[in-house]
Amino acid sequence: MKRSEINKAIDIAAEFFAKMNFLLPEYASWPPEKWRELGPEMDEIRNCALGSGDFATIGRTLFTIRNGRHGDPRYAKIYAEKAIYNPEGQRAPLHFHVSKMEDIINRGGGNVQITVWQAGPDNRPSDEPFTLKISGISRMVSPGETQRILPGESICLPPRTFHQFWGEEGTGPSLTGEVSSVCDDKTDNYFLEKRERFPAIEENELSRYTLVNEYQVPC
């Protein structure tokens, strides 16, 4: 993936967040050279992976606003929050979390579609129906059923719930919030197809933003 594509994707997401009056912290726009000057006062942001990430076609442009870290008393939050930009049709990879429970919230814009399965003992999508809560209301859902989440609605995903979501075509982009228990991308994510957290980058222009895998410790 080209750096110019990453810069453009984050520009689009930031512009949409501003349109939705969803403000990000100041460090959201700091370039790599500024991060190289910063000291240990920024360690929570670095070590808890706060910040932005980008995928290409299957993926997301997202910003982690708050998070903790399992087993580390320095970062004792037991919750996490993300803001996610959903263009029409761009899908997150199909995955589940081993221990994380999360609410996916449509905070405004277009509709969000989310397809769900329970994970079976073999870590494959189960063919059994199961119960989920949408905006607090229990519903029996079929395996592989797609739920439409309207602006203001949310869906609660317990651990081991396969899910894939995207902006519904024809309804415009949406701002999705994720509120969850601590997010550990290194050990808690199970993808049906192997996926890299970040793409290999072709540096065809200077980076205007800093991805969470690019935070620099001071020299």
pLDDT at 59: 74
Low-confidence ranges of the chain (pLDDT < 70): 51-57, 195-197, 216-219
pLDDT at 219: 41
pLDDT at 55: 56
Which has the closest alpha carbon to 92: 197, 17, 217? Answer: 197
pLDDT at 133: 97
pTM of the model: 0.88
pLDDT at 155: 98
pLDDT at 179: 98
pLDDT at 48: 82
pLDDT at 199: 72
Residue 50: C-alpha distances to residues 43, 59, 177 (Å): 10, 17, 15
Q: Which domains does the chain have, with CATH numbers?
A: 3-214 (2.60.120.10)
Digit-coded pLDDT (tens) for 57-106 = 677 889 999 999 988 999 999 999 999 999 998 888 899 999 999 999 99
Tokens of 141: 């859902």
Helix (H) or strand (E) holding 132: strand 130-134
For the chain, helix, strand, coil in percent to 5 are 20, 35, 45
pLDDT at 216: 59
pLDDT at 46: 86
